[in-house]
Amino acid sequence: MATGKINVSVENIFPLIKKFLYSDHEIFLRELISNATDATLKLKHLSRLGETTVEYGKPVIEVKVDKENKTLHVIDQGIGMTMEEVEKYINEVAFSGAEEFLEKYKDSAKDSGIIGHFGLGFYSAFMVADKVEIKTKSIQEDSKPAHWICEGTTEFTLTEGDKEQHGTEIILHINDDEKEFLEDHRIEQLLSKYNKFMPVPIKFGTKEETLPLPEDAEKDAKPETETVDNIINNPEPAWTKQPTDLEDKDYKEFYRELYPMQFEDPLFHIHLNVDYPFNLTGILYFPRMGQDMNVQKDKIQLYQNQVYVTDNVEGIVPEFLTMLRGVIDSPDIPLNVSRSYLQADGAVKKISSYITRKVADKLKSLFSNNREDFEKKWNDIKLVIEYGMLTEDKFFEKAEKFALYPTTDGKFYTFEELENEIKEKQTDKDGNLVILYASNKDEQHSYIEAAKDKGYTVLLLDSPIVSHLLQKMETSKEKISFVRVDSDHVNNLIKKDEEEISKLSDEEKEQLKTDLGKVIPSEKYSIQLEAMDSNSSPLIITQPEFMRRMKEMQQTGGGG
């Protein structure tokens, strides 16, 4: 038997870990399962290299709750630890065996999917447990099993154990304040949040599975059931596979797996897959969005080597793409650092611009390959595209080729097509191209009709950020201006009809004007009481284009 002092560089690290390391107590389970996964994958790697005689087989990681003894168990069939290794890896806090392993097997282990690298994960167990035991047996021949016990102080005991099978069992004696972690449903919840796509099967209890009826079964025969392991994860999620091995339906199925409460199919997906100069895989989905800018609940999830990290991808994914759904998985994103640091990190910057490029390329190819379908989807995707054009110049450049400008008649133009269409007939006296648009088909109906009667093309631009985008277009392109159909500028473009059709008497008109003047501030609007032609309404209230935009910007929050 050995007793000794845990080697710490900081005087007493436990209170530190408990308070500051992870604000979220629940992540201890993710850390322990990550270690169990690492130990299993290490065995897989060694057996592949022929460096061990132990068979890899079909290892499972088991999570077990023992309510009576108030313990939680995480059991793996990985490489285990010798006595010496426990001394080295466990007793030396912050000495990461994962990092050492990766260092030793540098090139061959690069793609082994090993998770650990902080060397503190194991100690997160003390956030929820008063006492932690390790029972372990190494795959090394003739090695003795080890039994380590620590009660959350820097004292520990290490004795020879009795574990027969190689692998490790971690036993947490759950603290009275953390009893929730002895409840099945709470553990299930954690497993499905953090471990749903981890690479080694994870067992939590058993379940009954209905066996198929034999062919010659009686009509009213009851199907038999069988007790099987309840495996909570999918060790091979779609994003870890090659796009060429997946069909459209696989992507849709995976979407359901990610968001079980989403019943609507995504519009399309983008498979991300790059290993130089950084490592990143993932699948992004464009959900149907319409006008809805509400904060979404189902967000993009960030993983590292198939371990869930967070669904806050701010700083990693460009803001306009946070409206998408899906997963990204990258071991190259530094964690536990502030968001502002993330934004300045070189690798993260590259990741962010890679994602932007991939999304733009995908949109471009959807547009070129099936324009009709792209037009159909436009209403659901325009928000993301317009927001991207507004906020990311690189995206703006690319989006020029596929961003669409729908007319009130349901036609769609690219900007270039639009220019060609209107350059002969819609210019003002300075030779600027005047692009007419409506923001609401019903409210601006009479203006739209009047403009169309004159042969003008009227766009229907009704997304909530479009006024910001128009401003950007006007400053980034020469000699164009966007003018809303009901603004007073249109009068300069559209010749006013001579004929007066108002049936009101002069007196009545004056009265009406005075009445309207009381409710409509004259410095913002001008009131016109003659119709532009026989089909439009005789009463027109216009607002100078510039005033209107100012107001809209205030509503949608600030400048362009």
Verify binding: residue 199, ligand ADP, rule CB under 6 A: no
> Which partner, ligand ADP, Mg ion, none, binds residue 91 by CB below 5 to 8 Å per kind?
none
Q: b vs e for 409-431, b when ≥16 Cβ sit within 10 Å of the residue's Cβ?
A: eebbbbbeebeeebeeebeeeee
Strand runs labelled E in 421-501: 433-438, 458-460, 480-484
Rounded Cα gap, residues 411 and 485, in angstroms: 17
Backbone angles phi, psi at 174, to 5 degrees: -70, 130
Rounded Cα gap, residues 339 and 336, in angstroms: 9
Q: How far is the CB of 471 from ligand ADP (least distance, A)?
A: 50
Verify binding: residue 406, ligand ADP, rule CB under 6 A: no
Instruction: Give the alpha-carbon dihedral of 10, 14, 15, 20, to 10 degrees.
Output: 80
Q: How far is the CB of 200 from Mg ion (least distance, A)?
A: 14
> Which partner, ligand ADP, Mg ion, none, binds residue 90 by CB below 5 to 8 Å per kind?
ligand ADP
Q: How far is the CB of 355 from ligand ADP (least distance, A)?
A: 27
> For ligand ADP, which residue of 59, 113, 121, 152 counts as binding (CB under 6 A)?
121
Verify binding: residue 304, ligand ADP, rule CB under 6 A: no
Verify binding: residue 35, Mg ion, rule CB under 5 A: yes
Q: Which stretch binds ligand ADP (CB under 6 A): 78-86, 187-195, 310-318, 454-462?
A: 78-86
- Residue 43 near residue 139 (C-beta atoms within 8 A): yes
Q: How many residues bind ligand ADP (CB under 6 A)?
A: 22
Verify binding: residue 90, ligand ADP, rule CB under 6 A: yes
Q: Which residue is nearest to Mg ion (CB)?
A: 121
Cis peptide before 214 (omega within 30 of 0): no
> For Mg ion, which residue of 97, 113, 121, 237 counts as binding (CB under 5 A)?
121
Q: Are strands 71-76 and 61-66 parallel, antiparallel or unpaired?
A: antiparallel
> For ligand ADP, which residue of 17, 33, 36, 109 counts as binding (CB under 6 A)?
36
| Residue given tokens 């990258």 in the structure block | 330
Rounded Cα gap, residues 81 and 89, in angstroms: 9
Rounded Cα gap, residues 119 and 241, in angstroms: 29
Verify binding: residue 98, ligand ADP, rule CB under 6 A: yes
Q: How far is the CB of 122 from Mg ion (least distance, A)?
A: 6
Rounded Cα gap, residues 273 and 240, in angstroms: 9
Q: How far is the CB of 152 from Mg ion (least distance, A)?
A: 18
Whose CA is closest to 496, among 536, 553, 544?
536
The contact mask relative to ligand ADP for 313-342 (x = CB under 6 A, - = no) is ------------------------------
Verify binding: residue 116, Mg ion, rule CB under 5 A: yes
Q: How far is the CB of 47 from ligand ADP (least distance, A)?
A: 15
Verify binding: residue 37, Mg ion, rule CB under 5 A: no
- Residue 480 near residue 473 (C-beta atoms within 8 A): yes
Rounded Cα gap, residues 143 and 85, in angstroms: 11
Identity of the amino acid at 176: D
Verify binding: residue 168, ligand ADP, rule CB under 6 A: yes
Verify binding: residue 39, ligand ADP, rule CB under 6 A: yes
> Which partner, ligand ADP, Mg ion, none, binds residue 39 by CB below 5 to 8 Å per kind?
ligand ADP
Residue (39 or 323) nearer to Mg ion, CB: 39
Rounded Cα gap, residues 30 and 190, in angstroms: 8
Verify binding: residue 118, ligand ADP, rule CB under 6 A: yes
Q: Which stretch binds ligand ADP (CB under 6 A): 94-102, 386-394, 457-465, 474-482?
A: 94-102
H or E, element range at 471? helix 466-476
> Which partner, ligand ADP, Mg ion, none, binds residue 120 by CB below 5 to 8 Å per kind?
ligand ADP
The alpha helices in 318-404, defined as continuous H runs, are 339-344, 346-369, 371-391, 393-399
Q: How many residues bind Mg ion (CB under 5 A)?
A: 3
Rounded Cα gap, residues 408 and 219, in angstroms: 61
> For ligand ADP, which residue of 16, 119, 362, 520 counts as binding (CB under 6 A)?
119
> Which partner, Mg ion, ligand ADP, none, binds residue 282 by CB below 5 to 8 Å per kind?
none
- Residue 167 near residue 78 (C-beta atoms within 8 A): yes
Task: Specify the 3-state DSSP secondary structure of 308.
Answer: strand
> Which partner, ligand ADP, Mg ion, none, binds residue 59 by CB below 5 to 8 Å per kind?
none
Q: Which stretch binds ligand ADP (CB under 6 A): 73-81, 251-259, 364-372, 447-455?
A: 73-81
Q: Which residues bind Mg ion (CB under 5 A)?
A: 35, 116, 121
Q: Which residues bind ligand ADP (CB under 6 A)?
A: 31, 35-36, 39, 76, 78-81, 89-90, 96-98, 116-122, 168
